[in-house]
Amino acid sequence: MEPPSVTPSRGHSSWQGALLTVSLLLSWGPPTTAQLSIEPVPRAAAEGQDVLLRNPSRAEAIFYNWYKGDNTDAKDGIVTYDVTSKTTTEGPAHTGREKIYPNGSLLLQHVTLADTGAYLLQIIKRTGFPEKLTGQIHVFRKLPKPSIKSNSSNPVEDQDSVTLLCEPETQSTTYQWWINNQSLPENSRLELSMDNRTLTIHTVTRDESGYYECRTRNPVSSNYSDPFYVNVLYGPDTPTISPSAEHYSPGDSINLTCQAGSNPSAQYSWFINETYRQSTQQLLIPNITVDDSGSYACRVHNPATNFNRTTIKNITVSEFVAKPSIQPSNTTVSEHTGPVVFTCLTQHNRISISWFHKGKRLQLTETMELSQDNRSLTINPVRMEDAGNYQCEVSNQISTQKSDSVILTVEANESNSGLSAGAIAGIVIGVLACMCLVAALVYCLWVRKTGRASDQHDPTEQKPSAANHNQECSLPNMANDVAYCTVNFSSPQEPKTPTSDSPPPVVTEAIYTEVKKK
């Protein structure tokens, strides 16, 4: 620090004499209260620096008295400067590092923490009225490089908690924490102590892995610790097997890779159909056959966490399917007969079978039924719309083949196309009988009407009718529940050789009607 332009006086006198002179001057008038403040330069000082307590007053003084503290006790006197004689008198609180300047400013050299505190300047004016000014010096330790201590540098995920302590502990120090060169994120698992010196990570996860630093700072210095790596052990996670393909053809190669998140790196083992194969992350099986089908398991192990995880992949090695054929039980049938059975013939197992009708995927009706494995299609009874070509299709995961068409011919059944001959005859007879019965009723009504007309002309006159009739009906037979009715029509007919004694012949026609009650 540069000293003021006026150099301090080299003259000295006794502290007691200086105090006596000041006391006599103070007796001239009452003291005044301080209105100005001492300005320390710098405001905050590190240990070993120089601090100047600058006098802001412009009053004409004859004495400058400095005290350590905020009062004018003689025991706290540092130094007195006599402006008139330009002499300096050291007090009891003088340490040998203080220098006073003719303008009343005081220089403290190589300050220590003990120099922190209040200082008072008493100015004795020529008028005899004193003036008091106070100020503060703040001395701070230059912070050393901090370091981090931890209860665990390799915690296990979801199990352990970590405590980080920033050392050393110093007064008037602010502590800050950084992770991966960034300030701490908001996280419910992160907890700071009241002074921020201790950081606790509750139940760590892998996201808390990284480099931690603590920073110490006070008004005169700041420093960073070396990075401290928190290595969170985790896993293994559930492994994944790639590629995702599960179906292969004979002659292909199976090349599988197993991957699992783990810290430290996981150990890998392969099992085929529960039989150990090898301990590598990659599994290669060239020129595979159908016998290589089965379950492929990747098992991972973390020796640090002692956890294991397994993933199983089912692989099927399938041959290309051959063209199937259809074996029909019949290809030409009459309508409403059956059953007709189509069987799909194939030499392969573990395949899917589908049926097609007229080139489209078969839609089952209520008269169709498939076997459990879809190999047989049964139609019973057969309908006209079931006619047409049929195909079966076989497929596995790598190929598909469709059979040649088999044509089903459905012929119309005449006995089922209309009414039987007996039914037709019965209908005709019934219609004729009804017509006859109606005719007989009409005729009876007509005869009754004409008979009444004849009775009105001559009751005794008898006229032969042009035609005679009679009707006989039998009661229904209780056993057969059948009623019979007979109507006779007769008319006179002249003989070829008439005689006087014989009556003319009569022609009689009988019509029977049979009505059955069901």
Summarised one tens digit per residue, pLDDT across range 312-361 is 999 999 888 999 999 999 999 999 998 999 999 998 888 899 999 999 99
Predicted pLDDT at 451: 61
> Are the C-beta atoms of residues 413 and 335 closer than 8 Å to each other?
yes
Residue written as token pair 């839609």: 363
CATH class of 240-317: mainly beta
Rg from Cα positions in the chain: 65
Q: What is the pLDDT of residues 437-451, one digit of tens each?
A: 888 887 777 777 666
Instruction: Categorize the per-residue pLDDT at 418 as very low, low, confident or very high, splitting at 50, 70 and 90.
Output: low
Q: What is the pLDDT of residues 44-57, one digit of tens each?
A: 999 999 999 999 98
Residue written as token pair 């008979």: 451
Q: What is the pLDDT of residues 79-99, one digit of tens each?
A: 999 999 999 999 999 999 999
> Are the C-beta atoms of residues 280 and 268 closer than 8 Å to each other?
yes
Strands 376-379 and 340-345: antiparallel
d(CA 134, CA 137): 10
Classify burial at 401, counting beta carbons within 10 Å of its beta carbon; exposed 0-12, middle 13-18, buried 19 or more: middle
Residue written as token pair 């019509």: 511
Residue among 393, 384, 401, 275 nearest 334 (CA): 384
Residue type, 268: Y
Helices first, then strands: H and E counts in the chain = 2, 41
CA 53 vs CA 4, 87, 247, 411: distances in Å: 11, 19, 89, 128
Mapped onto helix, strand or coil, the DSSP state of residue 453 is helix
Residue among 133, 141, 92 nearest 116 (CA): 141
> Are the C-beta atoms of residues 490 and 468 closer than 8 Å to each other?
yes
Instruction: Categorize the per-residue pLDDT at 21 as very low, low, confident or very high, splitting at 50, 70 and 90.
Output: very low
- Mean pLDDT, the chain, integer: 82
d(CA 5, CA 41): 16
Instruction: Categorize the per-residue pLDDT at 427 as very low, low, confident or very high, splitting at 50, 70 and 90.
Output: confident
CATH class of 11-140: mainly beta
pLDDT at residue 471 is higher than 80: no
The answer to whether domain 147-230 and domain 240-317 are alike in fold is yes
Predicted pLDDT at 105: 95
Q: What is the pLDDT of residues 259-297, one digit of tens each?
A: 999 999 999 999 999 999 999 999 999 999 999 999 999
> Are the C-beta atoms of residues 415 and 421 closer than 8 Å to each other?
no
Residue type, 9: S
What is the residue extent of each domain of the chain? 11-140, 147-230, 240-317, 325-415, 467-493+504-518
- 485 sits in which H/E element: strand 482-492
CATH architecture for residues 147-230: Sandwich (2.60)
Sign of the dihedral through C-alpha 452, 456, 459, 463: negative
Mapped onto helix, strand or coil, the DSSP state of residue 22 is helix
DSSP string, 199-244: EEESS--GGG-EEEEEEEEETTEEEEPPPEEE--BB-PPPPEEES-
Q: What is the mean pLDDT of residues 130-159?
A: 93
Per-residue tokens: 463: 């006229």
Per-residue tokens: 31: 């003291």
| Cβ count within 10 A of residue 216 | 23
> Are the C-beta atoms of residues 127 and 62 closer than 8 Å to each other?
no
Please indicate, yes or no, whether the overall pTM of this predicted structure exceeds 0.85: no
Predicted pLDDT at 350: 80
Mapped onto helix, strand or coil, the DSSP state of residue 479 is coil
d(CA 20, CA 22): 5
Q: What is the pLDDT of residues 176-185, one digit of tens each?
A: 999 999 999 8
Q: What is the pLDDT of residues 211-238, one digit of tens each?
A: 999 999 999 999 999 999 999 999 999 9
d(CA 77, CA 101): 16
Classify burial at 108, counting beta carbons within 10 Å of its beta carbon; exposed 0-12, middle 13-18, buried 19 or more: buried
Predicted pLDDT at 424: 61
- 404 sits in which H/E element: none
Peptide bond into 130 cis (omega under 30): no
Q: What is the pLDDT of residues 384-406, one digit of tens each?
A: 999 999 999 999 888 899 999 99
Sign of the dihedral through C-alpha 106, 111, 112, 117: positive
Q: What is the mean pLDDT of residues 481-496?
A: 46
Using alpha carbons only, give the angle 17, 19, 20 rounded to the nearest 5 degrees. 65
> Are the C-beta atoms of residues 246 and 313 closer than 8 Å to each other?
yes
- Percent share of the chain, pLDDT over 90: 64
> Are the C-beta atoms of residues 326 and 365 closer than 8 Å to each other?
no
> Are the C-beta atoms of residues 104 and 64 closer than 8 Å to each other?
yes
CATH code for the part of the protein at 325-415: 2.60.40.10
Q: What is the pLDDT of residues 259-268, one digit of tens each?
A: 999 999 999 9
